[in-house]
Amino acid sequence: MGAEFVQFSLTPILIGILASIACALPGNFLVLRKQALIGDAISHVVLPGIVVAFLVTGSVAAIPMLLGAAGAAIVAVILIEAIKRLGKIEPGAAMGVAFTSLFAGGVLLLEQSDTSNVHLDVEHALMGNLESLIWFKADGWASLWDPVALAALPDELLRIAVVCLLVIVLTVIFWRPLKISTFDESFAQSLGLPVGAIGFGLVVTAAVAAVAAFDAVGSIIVIAMFICPPAAARLMTNRLEAQVAWSILFATLSAILGYVFAGYGPLWFGAQNAVSAAGMIAAVSGVILALACLFGPYRSRVGVGREEVA
Amino acid sequence: MNPETLLTLAADEGRVISDIAVGDAPLAVRGMTVSYGEKPAVFSVDATFEAGMMTAIIGPNGAGKSTLLKAALGVIPRLSGEVSVYGAPLAAARDRIAYVPQRASVDWDFPTTVIDVVLMGLYRQTGLLSRLTGTHKAKARECLGRVGMADFAERQIGQLSGGQQQRVFLARALAQDADLYLLDEPFAGVDAATERAIIDVLQALKSEGKAVVCVHHDLATVSTYFDNVFLINVRRIAEGPVAQTFTPENLHATYGGRLATSHIDQLDLAAGA
Amino acid sequence: MDAFVQALFLGAGYNAALVGIGAALLGFAAGASGTFLFLRKRALVSDAVAHATLPGVGLAFIIMVALGLDGRSLVGLLAGSAVTAGIGLILVEWMSRKTRLSEDAAIGAVLSVFFGIGIVLLTIIQTMSQGRQAGLEGFLLGSTAGMLFQDAVVIAIGGTLAVAATFLLRRPMTLVAFDPEYAAASGYDVRKIDLAMMGLVMAVTVIGLKLVGLILIVAMLIIPAVTARFWTEKSDTVVWSAGILGAASGYVGAAISASAPALPTGPIIVLVSASLFTFSLFFAPARGVAAAVIRRQRFQARVHLRQGLLALARQEPIHDKLTLKVLGRDGLIRPDGVATDAGRAMAAKVARDERRWDVAREVHHDVSLTGRYDGLTPIEDVFTPDEIAQFDKVIGKPTAVEGT
């Protein structure tokens, strides 16, 4: 846990944790609303978003890319809603139509445009490159107090930290309307709550989280973190507050263990090269979910779970 | 038929349908039409629900009973029509309404407890961020007590029986401290004890001068539980006090052949007009 | 353009022709089998299946290399992908049945975790000496560029088999998709047929991997089915039109792709399919948006017209702006809101119909007739002229009212 750790592992782990939490928080509500796959749809349309942003601005600077991705996510959400309503198509199929079409458009644009000399490719979009987000200037824990070194922290860390904070603040502020409208939509409407706006706001927040996380860790982690930690957390408790806490714990655990296994795991087996950290984080979250499915105290539907008898 | 005859007919038909003025009635609906697709679920309905009364909305399945309530509350969009609540537009009077949706309309597997659901009824007082105080919790417990569920406050909602779920919904409505209570099938699939408990609470509300409106489907209990009935089958068939309105003729008009005459005979009906 | 026409008529080389035919066959099988999924409201299960193929591809490569075989053998890779896709499918079913999680959460969990594991395996393969040229990334988005002849044959044969299987299973699957309860009552084993349906979807996914890749194969399964639904309500027709739409997208897409560089096959096929969808969404005559908007507006005008006439008949004031507008447009009221002669005549007709309905509902207790008393259905649609004459007899002759 010395200088090397701070330089090479600290920032990727932090970014992984923040990205996981930023996605898991809205994921709790998406899973309860049976909209888990919105996360899947959003993460697929990020690619066309950044390609368009690149074609428009001609640069791979982070801010236009993020704006492009966020724009694409919002377009996708509106498109899904439109297909659902206009064509009276069930949500799953509407999502399937929308995100695959946009993704195909993104791939085509990418092939057609001259992006060979910039770092913009499909694999990067899918897998991210968490491992490369190292803190070059750091030479030990002391760097945490060194303004020069701190200034050289990867931009991704600051961005994901800001977004993670934003997501937390929004979740806290809108906790009650979110909870009421997720549980009982018609009652929420009778209270005068803008149910449609709340639902859209949730999805846009998820999209912002997805885009910021995607920038650092690729789209697999994004989908996995939207769904796996909240789903596992649901099987651990019967209270929403506790579920959200469990999901944060699981997200953090997945990020740390995933990164460590990816970086050091192969060494334990005598291999030299690390494997994809993003993929490993998704895999660890899957293992946690599998354990929750097998042993979680509230894994079964009502009446079958082990409940204390009052 | 020549136009002249028609004009005469028009004059003949010039009866006034609804002579109760909109005024300050707890809930008044005028000319409301709601449709799912191209078939009206509720067509051009006028309705007035009075204070200090318990009114049953009666009609066959698919007759637009729940739709009438939901559209009046703005839960589903109206194609036409106006709604006034205590003489004010709906948006200005939300605080005075408590709505109890159908029990089956929510996912009871939602991770929350009984008291949490009741606390949702206090949302318009607590708003976004203000802390839930002991007063709020005491209020929620008191409401649970009124429906006989005080000991179940910390129970997970998925563990409740159907009747208990309905009581929790009623407690949530009580927590709203409203003047107008709109309940969608509160007695559907509940046990006899729950039915008794609910009716006691509703009658207490009535005696405090509140207006209680229930979508109801058990014709046998209408005359025991309710003061007024509103008969609907897409169109408004009749409304008024049970004694004058809950007649075999009106029931036939509402249910058509669906209600066997022998069945009607068993009901405790008002004498035919 | 020439190159496209050439490709369209199979003149762009032997491989390209095979790919085109394979894409058409695959498109047909995907469109038809995807319809069953769509009608069962399980469209995105295919997304889980597709993503779950990736670890299978990776594992098959590693195993084949370990056994000293050529890791790039398409048949071997596809066999591996089928195994993990099957496991993914079983896990989705298991999670949504045994735990309290809903199917969408199970789908999302399986697709992301399997895909994550697949990526981990790919990074392992990249470090293997044989792995550098493995080209397994091609399975993500499909790649027909530099496709071997035998790969094209595999796709063409696979597509043919999938079409044959769809044809054989069409009856029970249609039945289950449209009315599972009736299917069960007629002695079909719904669970087995569901399984067969998923097996077919899995087969289509696996065959399509090389051509369009695992992310976009979902589009070939879902989009044609959704498109076909706009044009017809009949079950058989939906299945076959989805098949034909899929085949057309596959064939035309492959031809476009072969006609110029930098036009990847998978995305082009999907975009062709998506444009057919967009066109249908807006312009399909029965369920398209344009038709629906027009119908809705007409319907709303009919409602307001009828309500306005009722109000005129009852001499009630009309406040609703749209009602006033509709009445004014038809010349039934003057700008100051007073009924014209035509308006009063029509109001009288409406009033008379209302009274006829009153009588009809006393006379007829048949719900199929009186149930149509919804305010809009003209009484002439429900009762014959002599029946209506009978109602009029009951109502009696119109009596003149004093003062008019």
Token pair, residue A299, equals: 């894994």
* Angstroms from A151 CA to nearest CA on chain C: 32
Q: How confident is the model at residue A293 (pLDDT cuts 50, 70, 90)?
A: very high
Mean pLDDT over residues A127-143, rounded?
76
Mean pLDDT of chain C: 84
Using CA atoms of B261, B264, B269, B273 in order, give the dihedral in degrees to the nearest 10: -30
| A residues 73..132 contacting B (CB < 8 A) | none
The confidence band for C95, taking pLDDT boundaries of 50, 70 and 90, is very high
pLDDT for the residue B1? 41
Higher pLDDT: B128 or C20? It is C20
Residue B207 pLDDT grade (very low, low, confident, very high; cuts 50, 70, 90):
very high
What average pLDDT does range B192-200 have in this prediction? 93
Alpha carbon distance C58, C52 (integer Å): 11
Alpha carbon distance B138, A196 (integer Å): 32
Half-sphere exposure of B216 (CA within 13 A, CB side): 23
Q: Which among A35, A235, A271 has CB closest to C99?
A: A235
Quote the pLDDT of residue A250.
97
A169 touches chain B (CB under 8 A): no
pLDDT-derived band at C273, boundaries 50, 70, 90: very high
| Residue, of C262 and C400, whose pLDDT is higher | C262
What's the rounded mean pLDDT across residues C94-115?
A: 92
How much is the pTM? 0.86
pLDDT tens digits, A227-248? 999 999 999 999 999 999 999 9
Mean pLDDT for A266-293 is 87
Name the CA radius of gyration of chain B, rounded: 20
Nearest to B65 by CA among B170, B188, B203: B188
Nearest chain B Cα distance for residue C193, angstroms? 30
Higher pLDDT, A28 or C362: A28
The strand order across the sheet containing B80-85 reads B39-49, B27-36, B80-85, B88-89
% chain A with pLDDT above 90: 42
Cβ–Cβ < 8 Å for C34, C246: yes
pLDDT at B214 over 90: yes
Judge: B79–C303 Cβ closer than 8 Å, yes or no: yes
Rounded to a whole number, what is the distance in Å from the CA of A267 to chain C's nearest CA?
12
State which H helix or E strand residue B235 sits in.
strand B235-241
Most confident of B77-86, B174-183, C148-157, C312-321: B174-183
Beta bridge partners of A299: none
Q: Is it the case that residue B143 has pLDDT exceeding 90?
A: yes
Looking at residue B126, what is its pLDDT?
A: 80
Distance from CA of A145 to the nearest CA of C (A): 35
Give the mean model confidence (pLDDT) for residues A56-68. 81
pLDDT at B9: 40
Query: Which band of pLDDT confidence, cut at 50, 70 and 90, is reported for residue B271?
Result: low
Highest mean pLDDT among A48-52, A129-133, B176-180: B176-180
Which C residues 305-364 touch A at CB under 8 Å?
A: none
| pLDDT number for residue B5 | 43
Task: Please provide residue B233's backbone torsions phi and psi, each rounded to the nearest 5 degrees.
Answer: -145, 85
Most confident range, picked from A10-24, A83-97, B232-246: A10-24
Other residues' Cβ atoms within 10 Å of the Cβ of residue C340: 15
Indicate the helix (H) or strand (E) that contains B230: strand B228-233
Q: Is the dihedral of CA C300, C301, C302, C305 positive or negative?
A: positive
Cβ contacts of C271 within 8 Å, gap of 6 or more: A101, A104, A105, A108, C253
CB B167 within 8 A of CB B194: yes
Q: Is the pLDDT higher at C252 or at C380? A: C252
In chain C, the largest separation of any two C-alpha atoms, in whole Å, equals 107
Is C321 at the interface with chain B, CB within 8 A? no
Mention every residue, 6+ apart, whose C-beta is less than 8 A from residue A68. A49, A50, A51, A52, A53, A54, A56
Does residue B209 have a pLDDT over 60? yes
**B171 contacts on A by Cβ (under 8 Å):** none
Q: Give pLDDT tens digits for C163-208.
A: 888 888 888 888 887 788 888 888 888 888 888 888 889 999 988 8
Give the least confident one: A9-18, B179-188, C210-219, C385-394: C385-394
Give how far the C-alpha of residue C239 lies from the chain's centroid of Cα atoms, to the nearest Å. 10
Least confident of A138-142, C151-155, C186-190, C389-393: A138-142
* Inter-residue contact B42 to C373 (CB < 8 Å): no
For residue B36, give the H/E element and its range: strand B27-36
Residues 157-196 of A with CB under 8 A from C: none
Alpha carbon dihedral A148, A154, A159, A160, in 10-degree steps, equals -120
pLDDT of residue B227: 93
A289 pLDDT band, cuts 50/70/90, is: very high
Distance CA B80, CA B70 (A): 14
CA distances from C223 to C124, C166, C235, C396 (A): 35, 17, 17, 60
Q: What is the mean pLDDT of chain B?
A: 84
Amino acid at B23: G
Percentage of the residues of chain B whose pLDDT score is greater than 70: 85
Predicted ipTM of the assembly: 0.89
Please tell me the distance from the alpha carbon of residue C208 to that of residue C200, in angstroms, as a whole number: 12
Statement: residue A26 has pLDDT above 50: yes
Pick B110's closest partner by Cβ from A32, A191, A307. A32
Note whether A7 contacts B: Cβ–Cβ < 8 A: no
Closest residue, chain B, to A306 (C-alpha) = B159
Taking the CB of residue C381, how many other CB atoms lie within 10 A of it? Answer: 8
Q: Is the pLDDT of residue B201 over 80?
A: yes
Q: Report the C-alpha gap between B203 and A137 in whole angstroms.
A: 75
Structural contact between residues B242 and B226, judged by C-beta atoms closer than 8 angstroms:
yes
Quick check: C39 and C197 in contact, CB under 8 A? Answer: no
Residue of B nearest to A34 (CA): B107
Would you state the structure tokens that stand for residue B95, as one six-digit string? 């605080």
Is C122–A276 a contact, with Cβ atoms under 8 angstroms apart? yes
- Asked if the model's pLDDT at residue B56 lies above 50, the reply is yes
Give chain A positions within 8 Å (CB) of C281: 83, 86-87
Tens-digit pLDDT profile for residues C115-147: 999 989 988 888 877 666 667 777 888 776 666
Query: What distance in Å separates the CA atoms of residue B69 and residue A255, rounded to the nearest whole number?
Result: 49
